[in-house]
Amino acid sequence: MRFNAKDLASLARRPSGCFDKEGKLKICRVVGDEKLIEPRERWCRLKGNLLFLMKNKSSEASEVVILERCWIVEFRSKTDVSIVLKFQSGEPDLYLEAASKPECESWAVALGEANSEGLQNKIQQLRRLIMEIKEERSSDEARQFLPSSQVDSLGEPQFTSIQRIANEPKLEFSLACKDLVAATRDRKLNTFIQVSVVHPAEHILTRYSSTEIVEGTRDPLFLTGVTFPPEYPIYEETKIKLTVYDVKDKSQDTVRTSVLPDHKEPRADVGRSFLGCTTFRVGDLVKSKEQQLTLTLRTSDGGKTVGTIEVNLVKMGELEDGETDHITTDTQDQKFLCFLPLKSRSRGFLCATCAHNTENLEKMTDRQAKEECALVRECTATEGISGKDNLPSLNAVLKNPICKLYRFPTSDNKWMRIREQMAETNLSFHVPKELINLHIKEDMRRNQELKDLGELAPHWDNMRKSVIAHCDQMLSMYQDTLAELGKHTGSSFKSSCSKGEKTLEFIPINLHLQRMHVHSPRLKDALYDVITVGAPAAHFQGFKNGGLRKLLSKFEAERRNTGYQCIYYSPENTAKAKEVLSNINHLQPLISSHADLLLNSASQHSPDSLKNSLKMLSEKTELFVHAFKDQLVRNALLALYTARPGCVLKKPAVPRNSAEEGGDLQHQDHPSQIKRQDSIPHHSEYDEEEWDRVWANVGKSLNCVIAMVDRLLEKDNISNIKEGENDPSAADCKVLHTGGDWYEQLYPLVITLKDCMGEVVTRAKQSMAFVLLQELACGLPQCLMLTLRRDIVFSQALAGLVCGFIIKLHTGLRDQGFLQQLHTVGLLVQYEGLLSTYSEEAGMLEDMAVGISDLQKVMFKVIEAKSEDFLPIITGRREHYIIEVQLPAKMFELLPQEIKEGKLLRMYPVLFNVGINEQQTLAERFGDTTLQENINQENLELLKEYYKLFTEKMPPDCLPHFQEQNDLKGLLENLHQNIQAKKRKNVEIMWLAATICRKLNGVRFTCCKSAKDRTSMSVTLEQCSILRDEHQLHKDFFIRALDCMRREGCRIENVLKNVKCRKYAFNMIQLMAFPKYYRPPEGTYGKADT
């Protein structure tokens, strides 16, 4: 062979980046299996089909090997780090030894692809692909030469849709490989399949998903399937590309799945090698007789077959007939799945399979087959979940679903199929915006009430001006926040990276529904829902001084003990004042409206209408009178009178029972013996008993109205009887005459009632506004900042609660026991916290505890939707909210009569927290864990109260059939013992609380700082535990199922959504502090922003 020595020497000296591969190898010539000389270390550089051998990296090339008409074999040695190049020319073989087995395999692949024959195969394969693309596009190009009329008649390219059930995934299939060929003979493959989609309209290849890694077999059966959600644009013409990789280093293999943002390609893959790929049309799979495809895997150049791959259509809820699957064990105790064909497949669910040598299996006796194959599937028809077609309102609040498909073996040798789903919700923004809008209206109304207090003494007037100025600033902040949220477009969830943004501080962090749909033999389909959300906390405000629990306690102590220039009212009294004001604003217009209806009935001389109007008026007026039956109003009126520019008291200006009801007057700078100005009409001196008389006048006026109506109705009955007996026509004239009499006689009494009520309203509003003035003045500006912080935390908590309630209502719509429990007892809402009690997370936990406790003041009401807008409606004020959930008419009819009539549904939120990370280790050894212990103990008592209510009000048969009350008693006692034990990182507390919640038909929440990493570990562990405990997951597959869900499930997609990286934010040192089952599989964690 002729060559230019200078050119070769120049090529060998080029920079390192110019070579296909380079590195140190030990090299010598061999004949047969004997080395001619001892291997010597050389620096090797590979460029194209030329291998340069050099003494060191900077020296000249001492030898050049041309890699043509040669092949690679393994050298027989125990180390498996050497290969041999054999040449057709008969010259001595070249022995190459690497430093490690992975390095040896890497050189074997590179040298095997270096010859020109491999390059020619690649070129031919690329030519074939180009021709295929040209054929597909030929019809589009031909359209350019058609007349415009013909082009118009053709319209847009039409693609064939896939027939499917409403709200079910468009396409689901599972995968398995057989007879895979490794780069080296003795290597045991660790394989996974990457799934990519070629859209027919765009001809763009998009990475979609991948399977889990199956280790140690050349016939892998993958437990992770592929699913396309209902809205995914997939058609029969769509092509699916399947690429099989061999993973050499799992710690490096983290970028494998999902659609990447902005259509960008991921970084170069590391820690793996390409085995082969294949492509199929979706229509071929869907229309195939057995709904199964067996495809040949080929290398990238298309010249070499490296195995086969089976693609099997999956339909949840349908089973195949007469087929058995098995578990067997190879000589290295590596478990894998195989398949023994018995009958032809039927249409329906078909799981992917792979086999050992089928001929050998067919020769087995039944007994031998059962001994070697532990998993034998029996196929039984199961019942699907009811109400799949009743989902319009649920789809209105859930967005961007992600679906994953698995199939796992059970302990009784059958298959179960699991569909894991995750969806975000537009309630993340809808609820906070509604809530902020209510805050703005409430604060504007409060500011106006403070302005309407009238003239005050200079000290109190200056105080009022300061309070109003601060309140106006806070009101402006709420308005700005609402305006910014109104501009928000795009994703309907708040990522963990945005938790510190001021404009998004009212939005819950990473709020998602996590759902597991289990289809197992002999059992009905089951749904398990968990709401995952970041701990409700004010991240923008920070945690330097702790969270709400500490801040509120400290603020209340300072407000009580410090000599402020105001009157101290307890939190209970200020809450009562807000309730009174709310009742006034609610009842006064109702009473006025019913009084007008009463007069209208009187003018029409309608006895029945008159009775109904009087009944409604009486009920509302009695509620109105009862609202002021409190010593606080009387004391506040006296305090307000003393704050006027002048006052004369018959009695000392100290409210009665001030220690209990009103508080102490402190630092009053006005004289007590000056003639007061005309602030309370008709009296030159203030009389404490005056309020009692004014308040009682409302009741007396109502009694007068009732007596007059009774008298009119009685006279009318007597008159009608007499006139009807004598002359019917005279009776008709009497009706016209007495109609005017009724109105004239009732009108002055109704006006008196309205006047009395107006006087009561004026005085009560001013007195309660004065109480609120004291509350605000005693703590400016801390009071308003705490209110803001509490609003932020509550907004995040409420958004999650509304989402959880709507999901639970939809899933339990046909469960009469649950619906009865809902309106009779209320709904249990159980939060699982994973926050530590160290550093900032302790402050987050304090915020979270208060926010969840505040959910007790929320009540739900289910109403029939009058339009296609199913979003919930929020009404109320800070101390009491009502959430109106809208259902379509068909779903609304399924509800019990009590709920349809508008009965308010109570919530019972409980929180149990156990820190599991390395910071909790520091807190347990060097810090303080009393916060966690106190929260768990307090909420245990709340849980016991709910269980007591449940047992008192509900019949025993309302629990699900597989549960008994004795089980719940035992679980509660076990939970109590674990909380009292004060064991470090006692995660059993969370497991027990979650189990109790599910048994009591409650709503489950799981929270950590960002609902991304620790939450993912907890949710996946809970799902696998449910499969093991409730659906008989095979014990040998528990860890593998757990790894599947964490590596390829919805939670790793959640990580990708939040931080644009498929890595849980853990490192090895952190995970050493985690409980065993909360550690992710290798290769799924590393450095990532949280």
Task: Determine whether 783 is an active site residue.
Answer: no
The contacts of residue 63 (CB under 8 Å, 6+ apart) are: 52, 53
Number of continuous H segments (helices) and E segments (strands) in the chain = 29, 29
Helices (H), 927-1013: 930-953, 965-981, 988-999
- Please state, in angstroms and rounded to a whole number, the distance separating the CA atoms of residues 95 and 85: 7
Residue matched to tokens 């001006």: 465
Residue 532, SS3 per DSSP: strand
Query: Are 613 and 599 spatial neighbours (Cβ–Cβ below 8 Å)?
Result: no
Q: What share of the chain is helix, strand, coil (3-state, %, to 5)?
A: 45, 20, 35
Buried b (16+ CB within 10 A) or exposed e, 367-379: eebeeebebbbeb
The contacts of residue 891 (CB under 8 Å, 6+ apart) are: 390, 393, 810, 813
Q: What is 980-1000 written as a DSSP string? A: HHT-TT-THHHHHHHHHHHHT
The contacts of residue 227 (CB under 8 Å, 6+ apart) are: 169, 171, 172, 314, 403, 404, 405, 419
The helix or strand, by DSSP H or E, that contains position 84, with its residue range, turns out to be strand 82-87
Residue 676, SS3 per DSSP: coil
Residue 221, SS3 per DSSP: strand
Residue matched to tokens 């990296």: 57
Helices (H), 155-228: none
Active-site residue identified among 1008, 1024, 1044, 1050: 1008
- Please state, in angstroms and rounded to a whole number, the distance separating the CA atoms of residues 97 and 103: 9
Classify residue 236 by its DSSP letter.
T
> What tokens were used for 899?
């709920």
> What tokens were used for 119?
């390059």
> What tokens were used for 717?
């009955």
Residue 197, SS3 per DSSP: strand
Question: How far does CA 457 lie from the centroid of its chain?
Answer: 54
Residue 32, SS3 per DSSP: coil
The contacts of residue 875 (CB under 8 Å, 6+ apart) are: 438, 881, 882, 884
Half-sphere exposure of 374 (CA within 13 A, CB side): 15
Residue matched to tokens 């105080």: 463
The strand ranges marked E within 330-376 are: 335-340
- Please state, in angstroms and rounded to a whole number, the distance separating the CA atoms of residues 479 and 770: 25
Sign for the pseudo-dihedral over CA of 727, 729, 730, 734: positive
- Please state, in angstroms and rounded to a whole number, the distance separating the CA atoms of residues 194 and 206: 11
Question: Catalytic residue numbers?
Answer: 1008
